[in-house]
Amino acid sequence: MSNPAIIDVEYEQPACPTKHAWARVPVEPGPKQRAELKDKIRRLLQERNAVMVSHYYVHPDLQDLAVETGGIVSDSLEMARFGRDHAAQTLVVSGVRFMGETAKILSPEKTVLMPDLDANCSLDLGCPIDEFSAFCDAHPDRTVVVYANTSAAVKARSDWLVTSSCALDIVKALKDKGHKILWAPDKHLGGYIQRETGADMLMWNGSCIVHDEFKAFELEALKKEHPKAKVLVHPESPADVVALADAVGSTSAILKAARELDANEFIVATDNGMMHMLRQQNPGKVFIEAPTAGNSATCKSCAHCPWMAMNGLAGVAQVLEKGLNQIHVDPALIPRARLPIDRMLAFTAAHRAGQDAGALVPNIGAA
């Protein structure tokens, strides 16, 4: 179904490029200022009936404070579910913009704040709605499945939303019902799903600027230095990196593998923001960042999203105090954008409960 009325109203301003994002990473506060900011945020969360919703890739301070104050640190799937179900009327989302948009789509009656509205995502920016809509129109026989790392407008053009933690199950269920898939935007994640499920998938050519930089030849060399280490890889990584993994999965799956695999040493190929929670949950185990560059580069392991790095304590305190940086999504867009998200959440809830989640896959056509 072509819908030319879908426009990307929230992305009309020039995007914040990576070099500007790095320039805007907050200055690390000293011990006194850090304590003061945390106290201020604790107080304002109570006064504003607000809760923190943080991603695993943001600064450890924002992860720890979210947990301490009754919020959540999670992958994007659980961020979406938590924000929808929590009683707080204000959600402070520390992550990147599509996460704030998803929270607003699921809870339009709530106020959704972000420390910096320019915190973007290369996958989101690399899939503009006009080009994506034309791509969908050219393949009307395919069911449109998009990754969570997309704008509200792209979500509204899709049939299903997935995150890396549920993509395999949903695509397999669609394949079993005879669906041919149009996939966007991450080509590496799409390729991994295609290899695992055998689904007929037509790919958008997008990638994550962080995971795309992992190098298989460097990872092989690091494995030789640490022969007993297990390798944990996010599926947004290139196929030759994924092929070297002992466990492949979302951020939550990586955490689970680190807890359950019989090893005390792990090499981790995902954003290094994950290291904080991995080390917190697994004291005594050793976690090594997978290499992203060769020996001549300025760093061998520098896997961190510049837009995630834009989130900081001072930004959280400021938006809570002044009500700044509200996420807005066109109200006319919300019902259509919510449909694929609700399908995903219903599917994953049924799957988690041991029910026949495949029964929730209707014989729908492409959007």
Q: Could you report the per-residue pLDDT of 280-328, keeping only the tens digit for each?
A: 999 999 999 999 875 544 555 679 999 999 999 999 999 999 999 999 9
CA distance readout (Å), 167 to 121, 162, 193: 19, 5, 7
Report which of 64, 233, 101, 86 is spatially closest to residue 164, judged by C-alpha positions.
233
Please state whether beta strands 143-147 and 160-162 pair in parallel, antiparallel, or not at all (unpaired).
parallel
Judged against a pLDDT cut of 70, whether residue 39 lies above it is answered with yes
Cβ burial, residue 184 (10 Å; 0-12/13-18/19+): buried
> What does pLDDT average to over the chain?
91
- All domains in the chain, ordered by first residue: 9-121+308-322 (3.40.50.10800), 123-209+332-360 (3.40.50.10800), 211-289 (3.40.50.10800)
More confident residue, 359 or 80: 80
Judged against a pLDDT cut of 60, whether residue 14 lies above it is answered with no
Place of tokens 């995502």: 121
Judged against a pLDDT cut of 70, whether residue 174 lies above it is answered with yes
* DSSP β-bridge partners for residue 203: 183
Note the maximum CA span of the chain.
60
What is the pLDDT confidence band of residue 5, given thresholds at 50, 70 and 90?
Answer: very low
